[in-house]
Amino acid sequence: MTYIEEYYNFLKKNPDKACHKVLVTYKKLVDDIKHPKQVSFFNKITEENETHTYVFDEKKGNKPINFIEKYCRHSKGKWAGQPVKLELFQKAFIQALFGFIDKDTGIRKYKKGALFIGRKNGKSTMDSGLANFMLTKDGEGGAEIYSVATKKDQAKVVWDEAKRMIKKSPSLNKRIRCQEDGIFYDATESFLKALASDSNSLDGLNAHFVIFDEVHAWKDKNLLDVMYDSMSAREQPMLLETSTMGTVRESVFDNEYDYFSEIIEGYEGKSEKVDETVLPVIYELDNPNEWQDEKKWYKANPGLGTIKNIKDLRDKVNRAKNNPTELVNLLCKDFNIRQNEQDKWVSFDIANNEAIFDMEEIFDTYAIGGVDLSSTTDLTCATLLIIKHGKKYVLQQYFIPSERLEFKIKDDKIPYDKWEKRGLVTICDGAKVNYSDVTQWFLRMNDEYKISTLWIGYDPWNTQYWVEEMKEYGFEMVEVRQGAKTMSNPMKQIEADLIEKNVIYNNNPVLKWCLCNTSVKRDENDNIRPVKGQKQRARIDGTVSLIIAYCVLFDKLNDYLALQEE
């Protein structure tokens, strides 16, 4: 039995240890072993479609595993000097990555592997062992192996571990030269180097194997693209991404995570995304609340109890129960739940709700409004909050002055132009937001969709003439002052509703972005109010507008529900 099949059987027998994405991935791999499939690719060199049949070669899949366990030794801790013994989950991943080959040519199927996993699960040890294998035993002449990161110190983590492995292994130490500028295998004129985006030059590379470690820290996709392009001349190159989860900032990691998740969803027929050159394995909790259930910890930590110390994790969990700051870091790094920066209000998974609704579902109903006019030259947001069928439906419109648009797209790197094309943002003529455009949006919602806005909450600061305009059109305006006393309970209710996926906002990317940008400031009574985080260009106007609507809802709930029942 292959390691892949053995591991899949283990996951099925131990559902508490099997996160959904890993289970789906290994089910697909087992099926590919038993039923080889024809796969079509577009060859960029020949510019033609090619069809290949991929079969599983257990001997080739085991080759790097046997190398690591025979020649590589631990360099630190209680196992220092002892041979590396891979866990079943590591063997299954490596075997899949290297074992699927073209039936006719013997060339590997996978060009890219991704392993996203909780910290302290042997990721760097595996990376370093594979780097040494690809350097010496993959049969590639003049192989260029790179450990890559945005900073040289991070890039050298895997490189240093590979070097220490070699020093601890008599067999490898005889054959490999370790120098300050690289690790060299003279028999095939191959080398292993650490490389960063701040290196002198990234030109002229001819990579055979590239390791991207801790991708969550990357802010620029250019390095990933450059290294992937550098492999184009090799017959069977491989790029390996390994990382814990990270903070949400529309970064490289977020894009890669979403892409890999879509591929996995494609295995179940839930997505149309197909990429048979990529093997993604994502360990994570299926539900953020599972961090309190020790039986579920294995979903993000397959090495728990063997590689990773379970007592240490228990201690972290107990501390985090009373310390919100430690909880954010624990969820992100130990349980692989995507988080915002540590002073942020809600995690990405809490904020994220991809449910959508048709306007017919909220046609001819009552709503509560909330508006954050913000600065006259900055982003403004108007919100409609509707309760129907036990759910809270949210409609939002954003407004930005045209003279600020190019600056914000270029310097803030926020796609306001794309959001405008989707109808989510209104571009106001001139150098400041035209508040009358906000008025017209509320009127249009009433005229086109019969959404009658009963009350509209607003911050009274610098809004006098606009409030008078709204009153002239018959809207009932309600002052909502921004402070912990006013906003704390509504914010806590929003958080509870977001956790329950009870806030349906049509998967609006602007609101999702604002929610993930929102930090909180607490007073001595644990009352909270929204504030910007460290990144002042990251907007929270959509969040504030929604909170204001909730503040009105708190005061008017009984009246609102009574009208809804009529």
CATH number at residue 485: 3.30.420.240
Same domain, 276 and 356: no
Residues 248 and 357 in one domain: no
Residue 288 within any structural domain of the chain: no
Residues 243 and 363 placed together within one structural domain of the fold: no
* Whether residue 244 sits in one domain with residue 141: yes
Any domain includes 50: yes
Average pLDDT of 432-450? 94
CB 195 within 8 A of CB 148: yes
Mean pLDDT score, 20-38: 95
Report which of 326, 279, 369 is spatially closest to residue 551, judged by C-alpha positions: 369
Q: For residue 365, what are the CA distances in angstroms to 50, 76, 448?
A: 55, 65, 12
Q: What are the distances in angstroms from CA 444 to CA 49, 452, 523?
A: 50, 10, 40
Q: What is the pLDDT of residues 453-478, one digit of tens each?
A: 999 999 888 777 899 999 999 999 99
Do residues 221 and 114 share a domain? yes
**Within this chain, do residues 240 and 375 fall inside the same structural domain, yes or no?**
no
The whole-chain average pLDDT of the chain stands at 88
Share of the chain above pLDDT 70, in %: 91
**Within this chain, do residues 271 and 360 fall inside the same structural domain, yes or no?**
no
pLDDT digits (tens, 9 = 90+) for 352-397: 999 999 999 999 999 999 999 876 557 899 999 999 988 999 999 9
**Among 224, 254, 282, residue at a domain's last position:** 282
pLDDT in tens, 155-204: 888 889 999 999 998 999 999 999 988 999 999 999 999 988 765 566 67
* Residue whose C-alpha is closest to residue 347's, from 360, 334, 337: 337
CATH number of the domain within which 235 lies: 3.40.50.300
What residue has token string 């550098």?
Answer: 230
Q: Give the range of the structural domain holding residue 11, as residue numbers without chain letter.
A: 3-282
* Domain-located, residue 296: no
**Predicted pLDDT at 524:** 58
- The Cα 170–Cα 71 span in angstroms is 8
pLDDT for the residue 342:
46
Identify whether residues 186 and 83 lie together within a single domain.
yes
Task: Note the pLDDT tens digit of each residue in 329-352.
Answer: 788 889 988 765 546 788 888 899
Domain endpoint, select from 282, 304, 334: 282
Single out the residue of 322, 326, 350, 325 nearest to residue 338, CA to CA: 350
Q: Are residues 407 and 551 in the same domain?
A: yes
The verdict on residue 16 lying in a domain is yes
* Same-domain check for residues 238 and 153: yes
Last residue of a domain, one of 234, 249, 282: 282
Residue at 107 is within a domain: yes
Instruction: Annotate 327-378 with three-state secondary structure.
Output: HHHHHHHCCCCCECCCCECCCHHHHCCCCCCCHHHHCCEEEEEEEECCCCCC
Q: Can you list the positions of beta strands (E) in 214-277?
A: 238-243
Q: What's the pLDDT score for residue 422?
A: 92
Q: Is residue 272 domain-shared with residue 399, that is, in the same domain?
A: no
CA–CA separation, 335 and 245 (whole Å) = 8
> pLDDT-derived band of residue 138, with 50, 70 and 90 as boundaries?
very high
Other CB atoms within a 10 A radius of the CB of residue 13 amount to 9
Q: What is the pLDDT of residue 398?
A: 95
Give me the number of domains the chain comprises: 2
CB 242, CB 157: distance < 8 Å: no
